[in-house]
């Protein structure tokens, strides 16, 4: 079985070398969250570096192009709508600080995207996405920063490289979202917002820490935080 998968993977890479490029645009859907939203009203800033984020590299003569910006715009909207009672979206920090009644401003960033192919692992595609979540006071003063890493994988089947890479990337995005939903309320900033308290500028920062920095199974982590939406 392993020899068959490896042969398929090598065949896929040979086919890729002929066409010269793999383009993927993952657009994961976040299932309905089984959590109680924090009662706070917050502002969400999705910066330009996230909206337009694309990972491009050439490996083994193949051009790999992963458009992360498109899918993250929707994912972040759905994620924070599930996490908080009310979310106001703003184009930048200056616009966010002018909003009335907010208790915090949250600005996510993508710090790193990396992937492995079946040629390297022998049987699957694996993706890691490293995020930085900056949390600001209502006056747009940096209150804290959290690290967050999403992991995803997909078995390589057939000759397509785009499908397993896109599936693994979407899984990594959902994994990060699930970790945020489950763990953010337990962090210092989350505890303040759970009491509907506006974040204040403190030194040292509230709780410089990681959100699930250790890899865990993607399927289990998502199941903990969310359930599949009901069938239509």
Confidence of residue 30 (pLDDT cuts 50, 70, 90): confident
Of the listed ranges 20-29, 46-55, 162-171, the least confidently predicted one is 20-29
Query: pLDDT (tens digit, 9 = 90+) per residue, 134-183?
Result: 999 999 999 999 999 999 999 998 767 899 999 999 999 999 999 999 99
User: What's the mean per-residue pLDDT of the chain?
Assistant: 84
Can you tell me the distance from the alpha carbon of 29 to that of 32, in angstroms, rounded to the nearest whole number? 9
Residue 198's pLDDT band (cuts 50, 70, 90): very high
Beta bridge mates, 130: 112, 149
User: Taking residues 21-37, what's their average pLDDT?
Assistant: 91
DSSP assignment of 55-67, as one string?
EEEEETTEEEEEE
Q: Which residues contact 137 (CB under 8 A, 6 or more apart)?
A: 104, 105, 143, 198, 199, 200, 201
Between 76-80, 106-110, 137-141, 205-209, the lowest mean confidence (pLDDT) is in: 205-209
How many separate helices (H) and strands (E) can be counted in the chain? Answer: 8, 9
Task: Tell me the three state secondary structure of residue 105.
Answer: strand
The CATH classification number of 2-23+34-225 equals 3.30.160.150
CA–CA gap between residue 148 and residue 132 (Å, rounded):
6
- CA dist 90 and 174 (Å) reads 23
d(CA 221, CA 137): 29
Sequence ranges of the domains in the chain: 2-23+34-225
Q: What six digits make up the tokens of 27?
A: 């657009």
Burial level of 119, CB count in 10 A (0-12/13-18/19+)?
middle
């Amino acid at each position: 079985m392993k020899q068959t998968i490896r042969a398929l993977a090598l065949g896929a890479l040979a086919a890729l070398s002929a066409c010269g490029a793999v383009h993927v645009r993952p657009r994961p859907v976040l299932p309905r969250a089984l959590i109680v939203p924090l009662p706070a009203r917050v502002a969400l800033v999705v910066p330009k570096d996230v909206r337009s984020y694309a990972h491009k590299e050439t490996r083994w003569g193949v051009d790999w192009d992963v458009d992360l910006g498109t899918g993250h715009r929707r994912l972040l909207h759905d994620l924070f709508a599930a996490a908080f009672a009310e979310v106001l979206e703003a184009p930048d920090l200056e616009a966010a600080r002018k909003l009335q009644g907010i208790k915090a401003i949250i600005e996510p960033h993508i710090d790193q995207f990396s992937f492995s192919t079946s040629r390297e692992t022998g049987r699957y595609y694996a993706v890691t996405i490293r995020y930085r979540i900056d949390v600001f006071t209502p006056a747009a003063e940096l209150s804290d920063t959290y690290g967050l890493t999403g992991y995803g994988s997909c078995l390589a089947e057939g000759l397509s490289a785009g499908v397993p890479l896109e599936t693994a990337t979407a899984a990594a995005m959902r994994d990060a979202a699930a970790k945020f939903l489950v763990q953010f309320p337990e962090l210092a900033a989350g505890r303040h917002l759970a009491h509907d308290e506006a974040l204040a500028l403190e030194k040292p920062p509230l709780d410089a820490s990681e959100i699930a920095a250790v890899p865990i199974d993607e399927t289990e982590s998502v199941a903990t935080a969310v359930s599949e939406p009901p069938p239509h």
